[in-house]
Structure formats: structure tokens, C-alpha cells
Amino acid sequence: MPSVEFMGKTFTVDEDGFIDSYDNWCQEWVQWVKKEEGIDELNDEHQKVIDVLRDYYEKNGIAPMVRVLSKVTGFKLKHIYELFPSGPGKGACKMAGLPKPTGCV
Amino acid sequence: MAKHETPLLDQLESGPWPSFVSDMKQQAEVRAKNEDNIDFQIPVDVVEDLLGVLELSFKHGRTHWKHGGIVGVFGYGGGVIGRYCDQPEEFPGVAHFHTMRINQPGGKFYTAEYLRKLCDLWDFRGSGITNMHGSTGDIIFLGTTTPQLEEIFYEMTHNLEQDLGGSGSNLRTPSDCIGAARCEFACYDTQDLCYHLTQEYQDELHRPAFPYKFKFKFDGCPNCCVASIARADMSFIGTWKDDIRVDQEAVAAYIGGEIAPNGGAHSGRDWGPFDIQKEIIDLCPTDCMWMEDNKLMIDNKECNRCMHCINAMPRALRIGKETGLSILVGAKAPILDGAQMGSMLVPFVKAEDPYDEIKEVIENIWDWWMEEGKNRERLGELMKRQGFQKLLQATGLEPDPRMVQEPRSNPYIFWNEDEVEGGWTRDINEFRKHHQR
């Protein structure tokens, strides 16, 4: 697996740039993904999405459905795309350190 | 000289059917020669490595693609199927081999100019290999690298006025039969409705917001040339309300042997002279046809519009004039709880621009399924889990005998509390006054 070095940290990632382990997530990772995913400025709303995703994942062991993410954050899907141009899966889940989405994508 | 030995694949170059191996070898050669001096943006030998990895899979009997892959373009949550080879050192040309879904035009009618532009783009930024078309309908660009995705998307949208198709838990690319473009059976303009709804629901197509995938397909008549009843969560099948139009002179011509039945579809074998009694009347599923004074009679109120007689005598029998469509819902492949075909939901609705009635049904179903559907639960499975009645409530449709093949045979019948006099709140002591323990 390739690795990236950023702000003094080293991360192991897969081809799609998802982190190898949820436990290796840190604020530097967020900064790295921000650069990769076309996000100019991180704000409280980005952080809220990340917090909700991590909280849900820790409690349930899976990522929430899009509808649940919208409900809990109060952000419509359109707004989530404004925050994360690649969308909740490739953008937000990657930034939150969650495992890569699977299935018939 | 090919880069990899492919003895197993080479066997697939013999025989009469067009060989995908020969075609790919030709493409590999075209790229190697590069007579047009294209500045290839992905490895020149991508096709040779694809043949190489395929040969390896033939040898091992196993796939050599890694699990999954999440790539895409900014703004969309789908449209690109990421794929990486699990032997990237041996086959670097296909280390990245992503598939792009391109939204096809209605009925898949093309001009050479348009296809040439697509090919120019794909030769430059992709493998040059395609699938025309994916089962859902998209034009499939087979094989490119991650950095090329945005480049291709930019070119397509800015220069070809062409968008991506759908993938993921969203509305997938709708597709249709050729419809009224060149079929006399078409009961509505499949291409117009398909195009209209594709445009209407772009947001649902590009940004996954559903519990799972959802497909539309549009068939002009019950012959179902795009197989909507089997391959779409919502299937739109043309039909008519009034009488089949009969041209008795043409009927006589069929009987007289002047016109071949079924448009000559069975001319490869001698089935004897056309026998209208045997081939049409006796095969009618509702038995609603007969001959009277050498005229073909149809009791239209008993006709279920199966298309058999019209298919057999297309020059004598025509669909009615009062046309529209039926909406069937819930078709899906076996995973998880078994295969389903579409179930009749709306027996008849007019199909007229701006299609408001149809959109209302669609949006009511989405509202229900998006709220109630479990993660990765198809509409057909939600219908099974919560019941067809819930679907009727969600769509505001009245139950109708046409919605069932037969009534239920078990007596486990639920009643709503307000339908039952006295409701469900009962006092056991009241009961005991009349019935001792």
C-alpha cells in the first residue's frame, strides 16, 4: 500500500486515498484530505459532518445512510456536496477516516 | 509482436461470431503504431496488458481485479466505477482500469459525427475500449486512470454536451425501447418520456440519496423490448384503452397467404400455410376472438392486450387510439430475498408532456422508500416487507383487482382499528360477565 507524508505524519492509504485504519486518523489527515478533495477552507460545518460520521461509526460499526447523515447534521444532500464536492462517501467518509464504501457503486 | 502470450484467448479468434479478442488485438496494434500521433494520456500498451491479465484469469479461473474502488468527479457521487488490477507489476498498463458510464441518447440512435468525437476523446484519454452498451443502457468507456477522470468529464460536458450516467445508490441511467421512432406498436413516445424524466431527475441520478439503486425503463408496448418488467424498479409499459383497429382486407390477405405472418419472422422453416384459427384465435389467452362471415371479430372488453394477434398480423391489426401506459414496480435480481418482476401498480395513465401524473407516482414512491427503506433494500423488498397496501397508501391509489393475480389464500388479514366497530381497547372483566372461566 502506498503511503503519504504530510505535516510530519505518515499515512498508509489504498489506491483511492482511503486511510488504512480508522485508528490512525488525526487532524493532520483531515488537512491532507482537504487538499485532495478540492476543499478550500474547512469550517465548523465540515467538522460537524466529520464528528457525526465518526460518532455514528464508533457506535454502529458502519457509516450512516445518506438520509441519516442529513437528518443528524441538519444539512440537505445539496449542502453536503457544497461542503464535500466528491459527496458524502468519497469526500466526507474519507476525511473522517471511515473505511471505503463498498457494494455496487 | 504481442507483449504477452495469449494461447487460451487466441482460440477465441476462430469461429463465425465477431471475436472480442481479434478486436482488442487490432486496437492494441492501432495504439502501438499510433499513425495519428496521439499523445496518449494512459499507457500505450493498456490493451495488451488487458489481454495479458485476462489470459491469466483464463489460466487461473479467477478474477485479477481488486475489490471495489471509489473514484469519481467533483460534484457527483457516481458515474465512475473504479477498478485496480491485483497484479500491477506484471500488468502496469491496467494498474488503474476505471470504467466511466456515459448517458446514452434515447433508443441509442447516433450520428457518425457524434460517435467519432467520443472515440477521439476516448482514444486520447482512455484505453479505446468500450462496451456498447452496458445493460442499464449507458455507453461504457472501459479503462482509464484516475487523473484522466476530470479531464474526460470536462471535455464531455464542455465540448460534447454529454453527461455521465448513474452508479451507486441513486437513480441509474434510464433507458427505453426505440418506441415511436420506428415501431408501429409504440403506445407512447418512450424516448420523450425517458429523456424528460432523465432531465427532471438529474440530481437524483448524480448524487446518491436513496437507500439503494433505483431504475426506470420505458417500453412502448407489452412486448417489452427493453425488458422493463424484469430490469427496472419502475417499469413504464405502453398500452391502450379502446379497441384494436382491424383492417379486414388485410386479415383476408393474411388468410389468403399474400402476407407472411409475424412479419416473416418464421420464414426459416416450413410451418405450413397460415391458419388464423390455429395461430391466432386458438392462442388468444382470453379466448376473445372469432371469425364471423370471413371477418375477424374481437371482444375488446375481454382482451388483455397481450400483443399476440397484433404481433402475428401487424399489417391487419393495430393498437387502439386511446393510448397510455401502465406502471409496474419492484423488479430486481435475486439478491437479497429473491428475484422479482414488476407488479402492476397503475393500470393505465396517459403519457402526455409534462407527465405530471407520472411524476407524482414516482415522487410518492421515493418519499416512502427513502423514509422507510433499509440500507441496501430495493423497492421490491420494501414492498414485500411492509406490504403492497403500504405502497398504495404512499401513492394514494385505490386498491384495484388488476393489482393482483389472485386474492390471498391465507386468512391472516390485518384490519385498521377504525374499520372495526368498538376498536381494540377491550376490558377482560366485561368479557367475563358473559363467559365464565
Catalytic residue IDs of A? 104
Closest CA to B251 of B289, B222, B283: B289
Residues A56-99 have pLDDT tens digits of: 999 999 999 999 999 999 999 999 999 999 999 999 999 999 99
Q: Does B92 touch chain A (CB under 8 A)?
A: no
- In angstroms, the Cα distances linking B293 to A43, B211, B424 are 84, 59, 64
Q: What are B169's three cell numbers? A: 445508490
Residue B80: beta bridge partners?
B100
Residues B423 and B431: their CA atoms lie apart, in Å, by: 15
Q: Which amino acid is at B427?
A: D
A82, closest residue in chain B (CA to CA): B75
pLDDT of residue A105: 66
Residues A19-50 have pLDDT tens digits of: 999 999 999 999 999 988 989 999 999 999 99
Q: What are B39's three cell numbers? A: 499523445
Q: What are A75's three cell numbers? A: 444539512
Q: Which amino acid is at B26?
A: Q
B71, closest residue in chain A (CA to CA): A16
B113 CB-near residues (< 8 Å, 6+ apart):
none
pLDDT of residue A2: 86
Verify whether the Cβ–Cβ distance A90 to B70 is below 8 Å. Answer: yes
Distance from CA of A56 to the nearest CA of B (A): 15
pLDDT of residue A85: 94
pTM, two decimal places: 0.94
Residues B107 and A1: their CA atoms lie apart, in Å, by: 44
pLDDT of residue A54: 96
Verify whether the Cβ–Cβ distance B76 to A87 is below 8 Å. Answer: yes
B14 CB-near residues (< 8 Å, 6+ apart):
none
Tell me which residue has cell 485479477. Answer: B64
Q: Does B376 touch chain A (CB under 8 A)?
A: yes
Phi, psi dihedrals of residue B58, rounded to the nearest 5°: -60, -40
Residues B234 and B215: their CA atoms lie apart, in Å, by: 6
Residues A9 and A15: their CA atoms lie apart, in Å, by: 19
Mean pLDDT by 10 residues, chain B (437 residues): 90 98 97 97 98 98 95 95 96 97 97 98 98 98 98 98 96 98 98 98 96 97 98 98 98 98 97 97 98 97 98 98 98 96 98 96 97 96 98 97 97 96 96 97
ipTM score of the complex?
0.88
SS3 content of chain A, % helix, strand, coil (to 5): 50, 10, 40
Closest CA to B100 of B168, B164, B41, B172: B164
Residue B246: beta bridge partners?
B317
Distance from CA of B46 to the nearest CA of A (A): 18
Number of other residues whose CB lies within 10 A of the CB of residue B105: 15
Kindly tell me the burial class for residue B271, based on how many C-beta atoms sit within 10 Å of its own C-beta (0-12, 13-18, 19 or more). exposed
* pLDDT more than 70, % of chain A: 99
Residue pair B70/A105 in contact (Cβ under 8 Å)? The answer is yes
